[in-house]
């Protein structure tokens, strides 16, 4: 059972917000935030709630699989559509506005679907914790009238995980995810081949059993970030050697481990000379 009255009140408020919307398109990435929105929307609106996942070269295949699994668990309607941010020069340029152009592309696509489904609103998983980050994507959402039920109800990230666990969402403790382009330093052109290389490098970490990780792509250098609690796991017999061999086969000349561990925004740092 939910342990605090404020959290119970927030959940009731989120449900009320979605109920009053009548029908929604949920921008559904498969992360815990949008999963909770889809769960609550489905509970309140049934067939009038549709989760939409946009597939592009920036979305890891494992994340797409996760959206299908969670949508099936919830029992919600789920649609997969294709887009390609690599067709957007401003995105490929990879400057500080990259996320703005990515989200503009996404919400333009969802607006078309909103018309198709005659849905009242597009909703996303933005929450209180997101307001402290530099997120140009939020600007794109607000420009297009996208609403954020969890934010409107006052949910923090911790609140979301507590409620998701209580409601039985299997991904309640899923680590935060971000599109593959976030592994490439600003100012470095985003290419299909680089995105693919990063995805395969991170797949290697997943196969070794790591959960909190990023592979930051600095050209011939792969900079691995791991959650601080997982750094000792690299010392297990053979693991470090296997990872180095795998990543070098992908074209990296040097495979490094960042001793500061995983942190958001780590790609913007300059690797040592």
3-state secondary structure at position 120: coil
pLDDT at 265: 60
Two tokens at 147?
A: 């609403």
Its CATH architecture, for the domain 5-166, is: 3-Layer(aba) Sandwich (3.40)
Pick from 209, 212, 207: nearest CA to 247: 207
Separation between Cα atoms, residue 96 and residue 99, nearest integer Å? 8
pLDDT of residue 268: 55
Please indicate whether residue 5 or residue 272 has the higher confidence score (pLDDT). Answer: 5
- Whole-number pLDDT of residue 271: 42
- What is the tally of helices (H) and strands (E) in the chain? 10, 7
For range 137-161, the mean pLDDT: 95
Which residues, at least 6 apart from 129, have a Cβ–Cβ distance to it below 8 Å?
156, 157
How many residues belong to the chain? 273
Over 70: is that where the pLDDT of 269 sits? no
Higher-pLDDT residue of 1, 229: 229
> In the CATH scheme, what is the code of domain 180-268?
3.30.70
Q: How far apart are CA 7 and CA 26, in angstroms?
A: 22
Query: Are 5-166 and 180-268 in the same CATH fold?
Result: no
Query: Pick from 147, 170, 271: which is nearest to 220 by CA?
Result: 271
Domain ranges of the chain: 5-166, 180-268
Residues 6+ apart with CB under 8 A from 21: 45, 120, 121, 123, 147
Query: How many other CB atoms are found less than 10 A from the CB of residue 75?
Result: 11
pLDDT > 70 in the chain, percent? 95
Question: Is the pTM for the entire model greater than 0.85?
Answer: yes
- Rounded Cα–Cα distance for residues 255 and 54 (Å): 32
Q: Which residues are catalytically annotated?
A: 179
pLDDT-derived band at 135 (thresholds 50, 70, 90) equals: confident
What average pLDDT does range 155-165 have in this prediction?
96
Q: What secondary structure does DSSP assign to 141-203, as a single string?
A: HHHTT-B-HHHHTT--HHHHHHHHHHTT-TTTTPPP---GGGGS-TTSPP-HHHHHHHHHHHH
């Amino acid at each position: 059972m939910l342990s605090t009255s404020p959290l119970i009140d927030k959940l009731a408020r989120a449900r009320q917000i979605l109920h009053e919307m009548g029908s929604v398109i949920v921008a559904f990435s498969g992360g815990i935030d949008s999963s909770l929105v889809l769960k609550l929307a489905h509970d309140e609106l049934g067939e009038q709630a549709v989760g939409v996942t946009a597939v592009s070269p920036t979305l890891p295949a494992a994340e797409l699989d996760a959206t299908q699994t969670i949508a099936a668990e919830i029992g919600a309607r789920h649609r997969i559509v294709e887009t390609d941010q690599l067709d957007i020069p401003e995105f490929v340029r990879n400057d500080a506005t990259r996320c703005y152009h990515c989200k503009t592309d996404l919400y333009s696509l969802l607006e078309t679907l909103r018309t198709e489904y005659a849905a009242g609103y597009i909703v996303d998983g933005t929450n209180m914790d997101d307001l402290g980050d530099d997120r140009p994507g939020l600007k794109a959402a607000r420009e297009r009238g996208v609403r954020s039920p969890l934010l409107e109800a006052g949910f923090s990230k911790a609140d979301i995980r507590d409620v998701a666990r209580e409601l039985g969402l299997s991904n309640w403790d899923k680590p935060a995810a971000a599109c593959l382009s976030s592994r490439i330093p600003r100012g470095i052109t985003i290419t299909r081949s680089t995105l693919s290389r990063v995805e395969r490098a991170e797949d290697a970490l997943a196969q070794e059993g790591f959960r909190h990780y990023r592979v930051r792509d600095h050209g011939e250098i792969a900079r691995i970030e791991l959650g601080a609690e997982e750094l000792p796991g690299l010392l297990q017999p053979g693991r470090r050697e296997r990872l180095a061999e795998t990543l070098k086969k992908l074209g990296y000349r040097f495979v490094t481990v960042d001793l500061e561990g995983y942190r958001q925004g780590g790609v913007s740092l300059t690797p040592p000379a």
